[in-house]
Amino acid sequence: MSRAAHLANRAALAGCGLLLAILLAAFLLPSSPAAAGGEPSSSESGATASIVNGKATTIGQWPWQVALTVSSRIAPRASTSWRFFCGGSVLAPRLVITAGHCVADLNRGQIRKIEIVSGRTRLNSNRGQVARVTGLRMPVNASGKRRFRGLAGAADWDVALLTLASPLSAEPIKLAGPDEAAAWSPGQVAWTTGWGITKAFSQRVPARLQVARQVLMGNGLCHRADGVAYKSRRMICMGAPRAHASACNGDSGGPLVVETGAGYRLVGLTSYGDGACRGFVPSVDTRVSGRQIRNWVARTAMNLTGRNVVGSGGTPRPAPDWCKVPDVFRLRQSQAKARLEAAGCRLGRVRTDYYSVGQAGRIVGSRLAPGWLAPPGFKVGVWVAP
């Protein structure tokens, strides 16, 4: 695939998560099929792509994970998986954190028609707890205007806190603290979880909770992909090491966590990514571990619950050695091979891109963008001009 094709694919990704609030609002209207007691369509459920090429897991391993659903009172005949539209994490018994774009377009009455499902591996089981949402908090500026905004398919200040009518017994998770910066440094292994569909454009969500291993990438990778839309202070760049697993934006708000000696720490919330869930396109999470958002969450949570939701003293395992894919654009194959090997990678399959414009035989694109962190010796496929 040529560099131009890579850029076109990235530009084509719509912030599908930004549509979830609109879909939810439509789902809550009295005239919707769910409100009338019918079975909603897949688009109305709002549960689109989340974790592709992950594996089944259990809620016992990730107990803070919750699902945001339309209230069963609104859609009494719809299953939980049909009413599910976003993910979230328990910060305190009566407090859940999620992505701002999941709820930003909802009014107060609609917010109170959301239920939080906790303690379930299978969404459609009867286990765990269900708690009604009573309130919403999102960051605002000095004039009281929300900081959340969409830009070129991205979502800045993409965070929200939901208060609950009844307490959840699930183990809460803490945000990574200021002295735990190693937990969110590039190269660190992280885990993303959720119930979103496991195949792009599928209409079915998985029966069980899914998890995918990810690597925190350098900001440069997402800066090159998204340009000014990527805000490194409030966004975190990630992808699977072999570019095969993806956390898409449909199951937004779900947790991205890193294991430390003091327990798991929350470092990100699923925010946006490639709408087709292709692993070679990096995903972007809300950087809840960054100073700006972490400080807002900590202050707001303390005011609402009296609890400190920020961790301290946790040390993650040392980050693995990675091959950092170099830029091989316009190089000859021999030059590209040498540069890749110097970075700890290898030259993979070489294909001809008959639609590209460039000097014959020179590299016009690679399977992984420059800056991607892959396993040592990973074979990077390239395209050359005819």
End-to-end alpha carbon distance in the chain: 13
Residue 125 is given by DSSP the state S
Helix (H) or strand (E) segment spanning residue 225: helix 219-226
AA letter at 290 = G
Over residues 144-173, the mean pLDDT reads: 94
pLDDT at 358: 85
Bigger pLDDT: 315 or 10?
315
Six-digit token string for 224: 């090159």
At residue 295, what are phi and psi to the nearest 5 degrees? -60, -40
Name which of 209, 216, 200 is nearest 249 in CA terms: 200
Name which of 264, 241, 252, 263 is nearest 344 in CA terms: 241
In tens, the pLDDT along 27-81 reads: 544 433 333 333 333 222 232 334 666 788 999 999 999 999 999 998 888 999 8
pLDDT at 203: 52
pLDDT at 243: 80
Reduced to 3 states (helix: H, G, I; strand: E, B; else coil), residue 165 is coil
Six-digit token string for 32: 């919707």
Quick one: pLDDT band at residue 357, thresholds 50, 70, 90? confident
In tens, the pLDDT along 270-313 reads: 998 766 666 678 989 999 999 999 999 999 999 999 999 999 99
Six-digit token string for 96: 């859940």
pLDDT at 58: 96
Question: E-strand spans in 104-159?
Answer: 114-118, 129-137, 149-151, 154-156
pLDDT at 33: 33
pLDDT at 245: 65
In tens, the pLDDT along 84-121 reads: 889 999 999 999 999 999 999 999 999 999 999 999 99
Residue 72 is given by DSSP the state T
The answer to whether residue 150 scores a pLDDT higher than 90 is no
* Percentage above 90 pLDDT, the chain: 69
Q: Tell me the average pLDDT of the chain.
A: 85
Over residues 351-375, the mean pLDDT reads: 93
Give the chain's count of helices (H) and strands (E). Answer: 8, 23
Q: Any residues with CB less than 8 A from the CB of 258 and at least 6 apart, and which?
A: 176, 183, 184, 188, 189, 190, 191, 216, 264, 265, 267, 316
Query: Is 249:17 a contact under the CB 8 Å cutoff?
Result: yes
Show the domains of the chain with their CATH numbers.
3-305 (2.40.10.10), 323-384 (3.30.10.20)
In tens, the pLDDT along 235-275 reads: 999 998 988 766 654 578 999 999 999 999 999 999 987 66
In tens, the pLDDT along 163-193 reads: 999 999 999 999 999 999 999 999 999 999 9
- β-bridge pairing 263-272 and 255-260: antiparallel
In tens, the pLDDT along 204-221 reads: 556 789 999 999 999 999
pLDDT at 36: 30
Six-digit token string for 66: 């919750």
The answer to whether residue 322 scores a pLDDT higher than 80 is yes
